Amino acid sequence: MFISVIIPCYNEEEVINETNHRLVNVIENLTPQFELIYVDDGSYDQTPHLLRQLQQADPRVHAILLSRNFGHQMAVTAGLDYAAGDAIVLIDADLQDPPEVIKEMVYQWSQGYHVAYGVRTERTGETAFKRWTAKVFYRLINCLSDVQIPLDTGDFRLMDRQVVEALKIMPERDRFLRGMVSWVGFRQIAIPYQRSPRLAGVSKYSLWKMLRFAADGILSFSLIPLRMAIWIGIFTFGFSLIGIIYALVLRLFTSIWVPGWTLLFISVLFIGGIQLVFLGVIGEYTGRIYRENKQRPLYLIRERLGFDKK
């Protein structure tokens, strides 16, 4: 069995050597055949230089250097495209995800699971704000999303070759890998672990990047924000009908009406309500176009029985 490990790095000069050391130690004990693929996501520190050195010292180390900072998810995607392993492991460069957990992942894989994903039981050394936002995010996305994304998982996971091949034919530009991995299905199992503090350096996910990431996660997996227009539209239209009846009753059966007011009031409510409903309808169509545009495969096959191979 051949194992590929993909490690995205963005300005990780302080940790990269230690990470490599720990990873090699762990994987060497699991299999003689492996590759470590470092993807440098446009670092402007010594990271590319260090990667070059690591590569020269050890042929099992590979490095892909991206032309600029494309973001974590794209860096991982590049790694997946070049990984040759039967099983592919994704892990952060900062050792927040302990490499020792890979052993358990490989064991589950050998038991026939296609995906073994890490679930953080505890997050030490992260700010209360980060923990809180992460918690809200995972719950929100599961309320809104069509696929269930396991709570508190990151990208730390092992994937079978088949799963990676499936990800490779999902060409969407807004990539939210952990959601995509849930979407593909196959047999998946959670592996609880404790998330440690960063070995050194600071988080490379700025607040802005985190928000963008959250938006990608929600918008690529859910049409609910778009659909809300139709429900709010129907709701407001219902309310405006009550308002319209009220205005008519005032006008026809009482003497407390102001000239011109009834028509004005009715038109505002009516047009407002109708507009929202149709905005919702347009939303529905836009949603469909959006989904089509992604060109996702319509189904994925886990196994074929009784056919000739290929």
What does 93 interact with, of Mg ion, ligand UDP, none (CB < 5 to 8 A by kind)? ligand UDP
- The Cα 10–Cα 75 span in angstroms is 9
- The interface partner of residue 41, options being Mg ion, ligand UDP, none and the CB cut-off 5 to 8 Å by kind, is ligand UDP
Burial class (CB in 10 A: 0-12, 13-18, 19+), 296: middle
Answer left, alpha or beta for residue 186, where phi above 0 means left and psi between -120 and 50 means alpha: left
Query: Minimum Å distance from CB 76 to Mg ion?
Result: 13
The interface partner of residue 204, options being Mg ion, ligand UDP, none and the CB cut-off 5 to 8 Å by kind, is: ligand UDP
CB of 77 to ligand UDP, least distance (A): 11
Between residue 28 and residue 47, which ones bind ligand UDP under the rule CB under 6 A?
Answer: 41
Smallest separation (angstroms) from ligand UDP to the CB of 66: 9
| Residues 79, 64: Cα–Cα separation, whole Å | 7
114 belongs to the binding site for ligand UDP (CB under 6 A): no
Contact between 94 and 10 under an 8 Å Cβ cutoff? The reply is no
Q: Which of 3, 6, 12, 27 binds ligand UDP (CB under 6 A)?
A: 12
Residue 96, interface with Mg ion (CB under 5 A)?
A: yes
159 binds, among ligand UDP, Mg ion, none (CB under 5 to 8 A by kind): none
Nearest to 233 by CA among 241, 221, 244, 222: 241
In the structure encoding, which two tokens stand for residue 159, read together? 């994937």
Gap between the Cα atoms of 278 and 58, Å rounded: 62
DSSP code at position 146: S
Which positions from 165 through 224 interact with ligand UDP, judged by CB under 6 A? Answer: 203-205
- Interface residues with Mg ion (CB under 5 A) are 92, 94, 96
Binding site for ligand UDP (CB under 6 A): 8-10, 12, 41, 69, 71-72, 75, 92-94, 96, 203-205
